[in-house]
Structure 1
């Protein structure tokens, strides 16, 4: 498995990492539909990942009310030194927790995550969302304290807007605090909004992308095809409203092209979709999830080969949409584009 630098940091991460959102499976809607992987199944999936060089495992305290962290910690027992553990905090945990990134909240959340994960440090600790109610200086100074205490090695964020991330980075610079080196983002062939602002920011500031939902919230698994009804077993029936919207025209245009290229390469539709992402600027790692061994092995087949230049161009063309203002002049008008070349 190819190992890459995480942004401008010295940490090297695998091109494919494992998303443990399927571990635990508490909750009837979102997490229950992701998967209900128990400790024994998780150990088997971790075995396969480590054998393939997939050494980073990502979770969050909000996944299954902490059960995902607990299962991951148990599955890594006896081989924690072979793995990188990434987790997230900030979102509310149940009705008695308001969430956020205050000093009190972060200190307690980090200690709780360490207990659930059964580890003495977190390799990558990320804010799951921006907390507009807490001063950025308070959040950053607390995270810096966690790094200095050895509880956390590297810092990142997830789902930040461009101005939120840039303000955080400049504040860290001004106060000589530990900076974010990763941004966990939604990015796929049916969701390329990341490219308009966050990708150029990542290139400029040395922030690596860790991609979540690379198959477009389950739309690019190969089971959704033009002219066919949505499979009755598809999770999209229950969870589509939680993910980013995708127009039917865009989806089928992309899927048609993926099917063509899958036939040419003798790969599967999801393998082609994942491979396209692996070659995008700023992408340090792409998170793959799995509810069973078959899904995991198929996703692992996305690495170790490359699409041709022509195939990439066809996927680019099929998935391109008009950018919103103020980005579309740079996409569509020569003068703007000449002054600001595209990141891709």
Structure 2
């Protein structure tokens, strides 16, 4: 697996991160261990989790993913072999209220997040370190940008965590471009630790013009990150839960409304043609396209629930998109 620099930190990570959100809940321990072992064996080291994963699973309160990773690192002795990222701010303070018929109601949940006040951030990192069984994480994200808390309060707390050696780097997720610029200005003004990574939803399909979601990387953010290469774009949902190969899955995807339209239909058609030309799947083409991006460069997070899904992603690492295929993919759209 190829490697890429995280921002301009001098630290390199694997070109793909393994999303561990479902480990310990939807994915059992033996399967999780098998995927983690295989990812490490293939040269991967970037592991992505959060303190809230997965509160929406029946009987879960969050933290199971971190606990499983802690057990795996202890059992395998792999802490020094991985680049470990976790997050704070996504815990839901009233889980029953955020569940409807056993499923997460994200509109309700978004009003119940724990926020990023200084005490939440400080307690959060200590709790994550206990679950992970380590004295530091490599990257500590604000999971959900919190406009109700002064940025100065959050940044000062994060800076204290880095100075205490509990995190090496910080990042931000689900954030608007103007807020990101404000964060960077405040960090520079006060001499606080600045983010080196931004985690947003990003895929080959472009959000529809009417879409206004803080968590989706739109043209403005992509331009901003191209101009500021000290920030890495870490892309979650890079294949949008596998919609490139499955129209039924596409129609059922809760986020499809953010993408549906003539532009996406045109781009899906080209993905299908390229996939047929190369003898691969549409999902693999979409992931390979992200790995070819340089403006900005992208580190996709591949979240796999089953071993079969894990095996399906691996061939994308070897898909070589030639100039003609890249040009057709770039030009596609309405």
The two structures share one fold, judged by TM-score above 0.5 = yes
Residue 291 (structure 2) pairs with residue 278 (structure 1): yes
Deviation beyond 4 Å, 4+ runs, structure 1:
none
- 1:1-344 map, 5 Å: 1-25=1-25, 36-64=26-54, 65-77=62-74, 78-95=77-94, 98-191=113-206, 194-205=217-228, 206-220=230-244, 222-224=245-247, 230=248, 234=249, 237=252, 240-241=253-254, 245-280=258-293, 281-318=295-332, 320=333
Q: In the alignment, is the contact (CA less than 8 A) between 1:101 and 1:134 conserved in 2? A: yes
Q: CA deviation at 1:306?
A: 2.4
Where structure 2 has 5 or more consecutive residues not aligned to the other structure, the ranges are 55-61, 96-111, 208-215
Unaligned runs of at least 5 residues, structure 1 = 26-35, 225-229, 322-344
How far does residue 100 in structure 1 lie from its aligned partner after superposition? 1.1
Shift of 1:282: 2.4
Cα distance in 1, alignment partners of residues 243 and 320 from structure 2: 22
1:121 to 1:244, Cα distance in 2 relative to 1, 3 A? farther
Mapped to 2, the partners of 1:47 and 1:142 lie a distance apart of: 34
CA shift digits 1:22-41 (9 cap, x unpaired): 2133xxxxxxxxxx112221
Q: Secondary structure of 1:99's partner?
A: coil
Q: TM-score when scaled to structure 2?
A: 0.84
Once residues 276 and 85 of structure 1 are traced to their aligned partners in structure 2, the CA distance between those partners, rounded to angstroms, is 25
| Distance of aligned partners of 1:235 and 1:275 in 2 relative to their CA distance in 1, 3 Å threshold | closer
TM-score, normalising length: structure 1: 0.81
Contact 1:7 1:284 in 2 (8 A): no
Q: Secondary structure at the match of 1:45?
A: helix
| Aligned equivalents of 1:189, 1:81: Cα separation in 2 | 33
**In structure 1, C-alpha distance between the alignment counterparts of 2:130 and 2:250, rounded to whole Å:** 31
Q: Is the 8 A contact 1:124 1:156 kept in 2?
A: yes
The answer to whether the 8 A contact 1:189-1:216 is kept is no
Range with greater deviation from structure 2 (162-171 or 9-18): 9-18
Number of residue pairs the alignment of both structures matches: 299
Shift of 1:83: 0.8
| Structure 1 pair 215–163 and aligned structure 2 pair: CA distance change class (3 A) | same
Whole-Å separation in 1 of the counterparts to 2:143 and 2:82: 21
- Cα contact 1:190–1:216 (8 A) shared by 2: no
CA distance in 2, matches of 1:236, 1:21: 23
Asked whether the 8 Å contact 1:6–1:284 carries over to 2, the reply is no
Give the C-alpha shift of residue 90 in structure 1: 1.0
